[in-house]
């Protein structure tokens, strides 16, 4: 069984936890401090109820709700909280993995009481960080992720062999991860409107309609996942982070700001394991492109977030000179190697010393006190 933890309105919830005055208020988190010249990074549930969500220009958000509360994003704080939640989950001994900055997964095997385990995790997260999480449990990651959406916020849903079809019968197919607007339209044209309709289709049918993607979708729905994590294994094959925006965006600055954030998260984990990566993989998805994935291998491995970010941007440039609408993105480092020798050149040593100093300061301060300005300054072009 896979247990999927999805944080509720993560960035906005952290801001509300820090400032009680914001509790219960419609709140948006902007990608930079200028409240009228930025985009919504995150919205509280109170703001979402008014039709406001991430990717929306703040000017549009304030037209919908003039009395919105606004705070500038503190990405370092969000990264630190994500890492602390990850450490809490690791303490359960099942081998947690990141699904994105605000989503985590655990392979709990044949745990005798998954509901009690999920409830304990949910309570511990709320008690420790004063934010809530919704949790889904199912036989594979795709269904577990779907289950985590069913009782949001602060809820638990468990899909078993006994209740699976009953639950899927009332869930629209659009709620399934990977089903965008175009795929949804194609499925509905085939009278596939619910997740159960899709679940019951044979693999040959889906492969005929969607080629390999259709077969992959069938396997993702019907597989019984096992991460195969060895708790003694200290050498991962890859390290990655991804994020799904609530709303597709074609704003170059906004997308590149997210790429920089994900690159820094990957780099920090590489440095924590004293590893470097030679291969950088970028994955993008949006309403006009079901999925773009490309990678490049370099002769010199790196664990520098800026270098990883630059390589990801170069890969992104292969798509089109104009940024397409992006809904989800991910950065993964692979071809990993252990760092055994100090840098040979002075400029490399200075850069390594700087990264070590930043890691040291951030660790001592308890959150990311220092982080790249690019992350906070992403804004739409005029």
Domain range list for the chain: 2-6+104-222, 238-377
Q: State percent of the chain over pLDDT 70.
A: 85
In the predicted model, is pLDDT for residue 344 greater than 50?
Answer: no
Determine the pLDDT at residue 371: 53
* Bridge partners of residue 96, in order along the sequence: 106
pLDDT band at 322, cuts 50/70/90? Answer: low
- Report pLDDT digits (tens) over 20-50: 999 999 999 987 777 888 888 889 999 999 9
Mean pLDDT, residues 291-320:
86
Q: Would you state the torsion angle of the CA atoms of residues 124, 129, 134, 139, taken in this order, to the nearest 10 degrees?
A: -50
Determine the pLDDT at residue 365: 47
Determine the pLDDT at residue 54: 82
46 counts as catalytic: no
Determine the pLDDT at residue 18: 93
In the predicted model, is pLDDT for residue 363 greater than 60?
Answer: no
Which one is predicted more confidently, 13 or 247? 13
Task: Give domain 238-377's CATH number out of 3.40.720.10, 3.30.1490.100, 3.10.150.10, 3.40.50.2300.
Answer: 3.30.1490.100
In the predicted model, is pLDDT for residue 298 greater than 80?
Answer: yes
Determine the pLDDT at residue 343: 45
Determine the pLDDT at residue 146: 96
CB-CB contact of 129 with 161 (8 Å):
no
- Please classify residue 244 by burial: count the beta carbons closer than 10 Å to its beta carbon, then call 0-12 exposed, 13-18 middle and 19+ buried: middle
Least confident range from 76-85, 189-198, 261-270, 351-360: namely: 351-360
Question: Strand (E) positions, the chain?
Answer: 2-7, 27-30, 40-43, 69-72, 96-100, 103-107, 133-138, 156-158, 238-249, 275-286, 289-302, 326-338
Mean pLDDT, residues 65-75:
90
Mean pLDDT, residues 180-208:
91
Least confident range from 78-87, 92-101, 361-370: namely: 361-370
- Answer whether 2-6+104-222 and 238-377 agree in fold: no
Which one is predicted more confidently, 58 or 346? 58
User: Domain 2-6+104-222, what architecture?
Assistant: Orthogonal Bundle (1.10)
Determine the pLDDT at residue 179: 84
Of the candidates 15, 46, 83, 103, the residue annotated as catalytic is 103
* Sign of the torsion formed by the C-alpha atoms of 285, 289, 291 and 296: negative
Mean pLDDT rounded to a whole number for the chain: 84
Determine the pLDDT at residue 364: 52
- Report pLDDT digits (tens) over 251-288: 888 888 888 888 988 988 888 888 899 999 998 888 77
Least confident range from 142-146, 307-311, 378-382: namely: 378-382
């Amino acid at each position: 069984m896979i247990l999927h933890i999805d944080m509720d309105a993560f960035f906005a919830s952290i801001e509300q936890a820090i400032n009680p005055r914001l509790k219960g208020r419609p709140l948006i988190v902007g990608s930079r401090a200028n409240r009228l010249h930025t985009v919504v990074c995150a919205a509280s549930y109170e703001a979402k109820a008014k039709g406001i969500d991430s990717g929306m220009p703040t000017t549009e958000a304030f037209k919908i709700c003039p009395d919105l509360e606004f705070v500038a994003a503190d990405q370092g704080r969000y990264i630190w909280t994500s890492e602390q939640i990850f450490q809490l989950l690791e303490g359960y001994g099942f081998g947690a993995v990141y699904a994105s900055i605000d989503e985590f997964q655990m392979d709990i095997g044949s745990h005798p009481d998954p509901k009690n385990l999920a409830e304990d995790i949910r309570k511990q997260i709320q008690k420790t960080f004063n934010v809530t999480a919704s949790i889904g449990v199912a036989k594979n990651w795709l269904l577990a992720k779907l289950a985590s959406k069913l009782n949001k916020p602060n809820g638990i849903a468990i899909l078993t062999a006994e209740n699976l079809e009953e639950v899927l019968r009332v869930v629209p197919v659009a709620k399934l991860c990977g089903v965008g607007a175009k795929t949804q339209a194609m499925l509905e044209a085939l009278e596939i409107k619910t997740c159960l309709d899709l679940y019951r289709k044979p693999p040959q049918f889906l492969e005929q309609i969607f080629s390999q993607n259709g077969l992959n979708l069938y396997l993702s729905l019907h597989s019984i996942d096992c991460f195969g994590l060895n708790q003694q294994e200290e050498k991962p094959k890859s390290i990655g982070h991804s994020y799904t925006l609530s709303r597709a965006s074609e704003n170059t600055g906004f997308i590149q700001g997210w790429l920089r954030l994900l690159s820094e998260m990957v780099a920090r984990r590489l440095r924590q394991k004293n590893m470097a990566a030679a291969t950088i993989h970028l994955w993008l998805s949006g309403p006009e492109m079901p999925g773009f994935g490309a990678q490049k291998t370099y002769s010199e491995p790196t664990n520098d977030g800026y270098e990883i970010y630059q390589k990801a941007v170069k890969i992104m440039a292969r798509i089109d000179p104009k940024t397409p609408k992006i809904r989800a993105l991910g950065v993964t480092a692979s071809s990993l190697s252990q760092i055994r020798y100090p840098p040979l050149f002075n400029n490399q040593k200075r850069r390594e010393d700087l990264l070590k100093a930043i890691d040291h300061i951030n660790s001592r301060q308890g959150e990311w006190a220092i982080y790249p300005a690019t992350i906070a300054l992403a804004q739409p072009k005029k």
